[in-house]
Structure 1
Amino acid sequence: MNCKRQPPPGAQHLATDTAGDLRLYQHVFAQNPDGMLIIEGHQFVVCNQAAADLLGYDGAEALLGRTPEALSPICQPDGHSSAKRAREVVARAREHGSQRFEWQHLKANGDPIWVEVRLTTLDRDGPPAILVVWRDISRRKALEAEARAAHASLEAIVDHTPVGLLFLDGERRILHCNPAFLRMTGYREEEVLGRTTAFLYTSHAVYEATGEAVYPVLREGHTSEIEREFVRANGEVITVSLLGRPLDPGALSQGFVWVVQDISERKALQAALEREATFDQLTGALNRRRTEQALSREMERSNRHGTALSVALLDIDHFKAVNDRFGHAVGDEVLSDLVQRCIASLRATDLIGRWGGEEFLLVLPDTGQDSALQLAERLRQRISEGRTSTGQRVTASFGVAVYQPGESLAPLLKRADDALYRAKDRGRNRVEHQPAGG
């Protein structure tokens, strides 16, 4: 009888499977494109070629017996000690079974390299060990650094640009604004973030109308350029230029970027220049050029619609004598007072312009001969009621002419001028009329 102990059924088959698994694991370890290492204690005891290649070493044996911190800079980029941090993460891996983090190692030539590290405790007989897997994330970290730099540059531009910037969501709520916008409007950041821009407009109707005006433009992918009035935190109203673009023309719900510029001073300057180019600075009447333009428009309208139109030239009587006796200051007073008296008696559609010196032209739309003569007479009486600061009575003479269809400017004004001089010849302080062909 053979008393030698026989292996249990299937034992030889189990041994064969275990050996096959071991060879498979060794093959996966050796051929894995990620760096794979095993730590015992605090040293690398096993290493695949991919780990050596990752750090630029010729063979895996160059890493054996070395510690993680020996292959790292003294400090990680966040300023923490590599030696202390390495021992901390290894200890946490032993405690929790695994750890995953980003780490900066040093290559053989001293260049830094970013890797994603995964630590996994190994359940095996023998000394406790940890499987280390390195994956190169240098490209990703470089892209992240570039993105951070670009973002920092953009933030610097946004924060330091002298014009206001508004970033809105699809509901026109403010997601972000720059310091220039806050300075412009006088609000604090916490007062505007999350609110729609409705509070900036002079009324909700203007806010709604602005949306209706700009949305079609933005939807086409174009830049919207408009001017609106904004209300500052202190209630002051300013004029702003708004330049807007959608983040995605095909999906306005993605939001918008608006450039906001305070143009109040520019608009005030434009208005002042327009007033200077339009009005006589002393009297407030239209200047001669604008008076001629206004008369030409009324003549065209009269021709087009067949409406009546009259003009009247008025001249201050004995104005030179007033200037010579009392000085130009009193003369200026007489001119200004005359214009204000006329304006007070004219309709909103009537115009008065300084034609030259002490001569003024009245443009009277929708006014026939009788009405023009009556108006001129009222003005004559109103002027004669005035007195200068020296107590002098002021009078004026009027010459009236009615526009004839198709007539040019020169003959119309010639008839008014003839009527004026007839009033002068007949004693001044009177109204005369010069009919067509007369």
Structure 2
Amino acid sequence: MLQAAVEQAFNAVVITTADLQGDGPHITYCNPAFCQLTGYSAAELQGRSPRLLQGPLTDQRVLQRLRDSLHQGTFFLGSTFNYRKDGSAYLVEWNISPVRDAQGQIQAFVSVQQDITARVEAQQRQALLARALHATRDAVLIADHQAHILFVNQAFEHLTGYASAEVLGCTPQFLQSGQHPPAFYTQLREALARGDSYQATFTNRHKRGHLYHAAQTITPLKDDTGTVQHYVCVSKDVTELVTRTQELRQQAHHDALTGLLNRYAGEKQLQRCQQAAQTDGVGYALILADIDEFKQINDRWGHEAGDQVLLRCAQLLSTAVRSGDAVVRWGGEEFLIVLPGCPLDAAHSLAEHMRTTLAAQEDATVGQVTMSLGVAAWQAPEDSAELLRRTDQALYHAKGQGRNQVAVAR
């Protein structure tokens, strides 16, 4: 049974004599796996020294350790290059054990060997890939089919602030910032479930707490049957680009002094409200506010004081409106407030609140500052230009009636 097991073993087995003199020891037995490994037949190996398998790439340091172990009668484990009968090299891993008789004398050595060339080459390729991934400036994350992280490169550590040891085995959810709506992640999951790649700019949270923006591509990796086994995510830090874009958008749509929407953005808001009114019947109202005697403020107190008055009025108007309303610096000292879905009476009450609140405050330099306001609500089938004209007429009426009052266009 033992002989049959050795004959049929997957690993190569060779037995040699214990003679260490001359070119000894010599092969006394080898199984078929050893013959297949070396390319020699059993007859060709019988009585030969295993040294016939050595060649230029055979590591002499390993052989010296081997000889030391044989002389000491201890177990040996090592690996180096050997050569087949056809001259081709292979990387062999072998262990050698002494076989002793009843008196403890070494009678033979038995060696179990395995060709590890493919395994080492795979390890080397894997190491090369890891070095390449660490060398790239883009952050790379590899996860299993359940999104548990298996690998991150050094660029990922730099981008996120997390060390590799902190994230392995986790899912990437710890990077979520709360800045994306649930639908964003729903689209991500649906795309990956279909086996599709997903590309988007993510707003993530750094380990230190601040936000960063990353252009990410997440790709499913499938096996030969088409089953997703892994996911690879490549991220590029685009924080500077996103920040600059936001700044440009802010500059393009907001007034530099007050931070309110500028006239261009206000006109866009008017168009959206007008579209909703015409298609869905959702009305809207406008308030046009003008600071009373603003030219005199500039002439008497200077433009710096005038700018402070504009800022204070802008802050008051912004604080008074709802989150979906728009406050626009329409021009000079004039402000337009766009109120989607707001009836005329509510807009009138809001305008009166704005007027009284401003009039009750004292500016440290100028003293009392007042506003005149005109109010109008959309009436089908008028367009936004007609509604704006009626609102302006109401403002003109309020100015004409003595200022610091609200006039409503009915």
- State the TM-score, normalized to the length of structure 1: 0.66
Q: 1:363 to 1:80 in 2, by over 3 A?
A: same
Counterpart check, 1:178 vs 2:153 = yes
Where 2:219 maps in the other structure, the secondary structure is strand
Q: 1:429 to 1:107 in 2, by over 3 A?
A: same
Q: 1:219 to 1:186 in 2, by over 3 A?
A: same
Q: 2:218 aligns with which of 244, 258, 261?
A: 244
- Amino acid corresponding to residue 217 of structure 1 in structure 2: A
Shift in Å, 1:214: 3.2
Mapping of 1:163-174 within 5 angstroms? 163-174=138-149
Q: 1:207 to 1:357 in 2, by over 3 A?
A: closer
Report the counterpart of residue 192 of structure 2 in structure 1.
218
Where 1:339 maps in the other structure, the secondary structure is helix
- State the TM-score, normalized to the length of structure 2: 0.70
Counterpart check, 1:76 vs 2:58 = yes
Report the counterpart of residue 31 of structure 2 in structure 1.
none
- CA–CA separation in structure 1 for the residues paired with 2:89 and 2:304: 87
- CA–CA separation in structure 1 for the residues paired with 2:245 and 2:83: 65
- CA–CA separation in structure 1 for the residues paired with 2:53 and 2:65: 12
- CA–CA separation in structure 1 for the residues paired with 2:185 and 2:379: 48
Number of residue pairs the alignment of both structures matches: 365
Contact persistence 1:243–1:260 (CA under 8 A): yes
Report the counterpart of residue 3 of structure 1 in structure 2.
none
Shift in Å, 1:433: 3.7
Where 1:255 maps in the other structure, the secondary structure is strand
Instruction: Name the structure where strand makes up a greater proportion of residues.
Output: 2
Shift in Å, 1:409: 2.7
Shift in Å, 1:364: 2.4
Deviations 1:400-432 (A, max 9, x none): 333221322322222222332333333332333
- Amino acid corresponding to residue 382 of structure 1 in structure 2: T
Deviations 1:251-283 (A, max 9, x none): 23x222222444444443333333323322211
Counterpart check, 1:417 vs 2:398 = no
Where 2:362 maps in the other structure, the secondary structure is coil
- CA–CA separation in structure 1 for the residues paired with 2:335 and 2:277: 22
Report the counterpart of residue 6 of structure 2 in structure 1.
none
Report the counterpart of residue 336 of structure 1 in structure 2.
311
Deviations 1:8-36 (A, max 9, x none): xxxxxxxxxxxxxxxxxxxxxxxxxxxxx
Q: 1:211 to 1:413 in 2, by over 3 A?
A: closer
In structure 1, list runs of 5 or more residues that go unmatched.
Answer: 1-37, 120-127
Sequence identity percentage: 31
- CA–CA separation in structure 1 for the residues paired with 2:90 and 2:230: 36
Deviations 1:45-96 (A, max 9, x none): 99xxxx9xx99xxxx9xxxx999489733x735x6276x478679989x999
In structure 2, list runs of 5 or more residues that go unmatched.
Answer: 1-15, 28-34, 97-106
- CA–CA separation in structure 2 for the residues paired with 1:326 and 1:416: 30
Mapping of 1:195-214 within 5 angstroms? 195-201=170-176, 213-214=187-188
Report the counterpart of residue 384 of structure 1 in structure 2.
359
- Amino acid corresponding to residue 214 of structure 1 in structure 2: L
Q: 1:240 to 1:404 in 2, by over 3 A?
A: same
Shift in Å, 1:159: 1.0
Deviations 1:297-338 (A, max 9, x none): 112222233343222222212211211221111111111111
Shift in Å, 1:371: 3.6
Q: 1:102 to 1:156 in 2, by over 3 A?
A: closer
Report the counterpart of residue 81 of structure 2 in structure 1.
103
Counterpart check, 1:259 vs 2:234 = yes
- CA–CA separation in structure 2 for the residues paired with 1:349 and 1:95: 83
Contact persistence 2:301–2:366 (CA under 8 A): no
Report the counterpart of residue 353 of structure 1 in structure 2.
328
- CA–CA separation in structure 2 for the residues paired with 1:414 and 1:383: 25
- Amino acid corresponding to residue 374 of structure 1 in structure 2: S
- CA–CA separation in structure 1 for the residues paired with 2:378 and 2:183: 43
Q: 1:220 to 1:85 in 2, by over 3 A?
A: same
Counterpart check, 1:151 vs 2:126 = yes
For the aligned residues, what is the CA RMSD?
Answer: 4.6
Where 1:397 maps in the other structure, the secondary structure is strand
- Larger CA Rg, structure 1 vs 2: 1
- Amino acid corresponding to residue 72 of structure 1 in structure 2: G
Which stretch has the larger CA shift, 147-156 or 294-303?
A: 147-156
Deviations 1:135-169 (A, max 9, x none): 9x8xx95x777655543432122112223222212
Report the counterpart of residue 291 of structure 1 in structure 2.
266
Where 2:145 maps in the other structure, the secondary structure is coil
Mapping of 1:131-142 within 5 angstroms? 141=117
Contact persistence 2:54–2:82 (CA under 8 A): no
